[in-house]
Structure 1
Amino acid sequence: MNDPTFTDTPISRCAYYRRTCGLPAGIHPEAGRIVVKAGFVGAITMPARLGLRVRDDMLFRGCPLGPVVAHIRSRRWTFLCRPDIPEDNSLFTELFRLDVAVVPFGGEIALPSPADSQIPSRTWIVPPRDTFRPSGAVVIDYLRACARKPIR
Structure 2
Amino acid sequence: MDHIPFGDSPVSRCVFYRRVCDLPATIDPPSLGRIIMKATHVWALTMPAPLGQSVKHDMGRRGAAIGPILSHPRSNRWTFLIRPDVPDDVPLFADLFRHNASVIRDGGTVALPSPTIQSGAIRQWIEPPRDTFRPSGLLVIESVRACVGPGRARAVSHV
Q: Per-residue deviation at 1:138?
A: 0.7
Q: Say if 2:45 and 2:101, in contact at 8 Å, map to a contact too.
A: yes
Q: Deviations over 1:53-101 (max 9, x none)?
A: 0001111111001100000100000000001100011111111100001
Shift of residue 105 of structure 1? 1.5
Where in structure 2 are there 5+ consecutive unaligned residues? Answer: none
Secondary structure in 2 aligned to 1:114? Answer: coil
How many Å separate the matches in 2 of 1:145 and 1:30? 43
**Aligned match of 2:98:** 97
Pairs aligned (count) = 148
2:63 aligned counterpart, secondary structure: coil
* Residue aligning to 1:135: 136
TM-score by length of 2: 0.88
Task: Measure the CA separation in 2 of the matches of 1:7 and 1:17.
Answer: 16
Alignment RMSD, CA only? 1.6
**TM-score, structure 1 as length reference:** 0.92
What do residues 19-59 of structure 1 show as CA deviations (whole Å, max 9, x unaligned)? 11111111111321111111210100000000000001111
1:24 aligned partner:
24
After TM superposition, give the deviation of residue 118 of structure 1 in Å. Answer: 7.0
Q: Which residue of 2 aligns with 1:87?
A: 88
SS in 1 for 2:80: strand
- In the alignment, what sits opposite 2:34? 33
C-alpha deviation, 1:116, in angstroms: 4.0
Gaps of 5+ in 1: none
Q: Which amino acid aligns with 2:106?
A: F
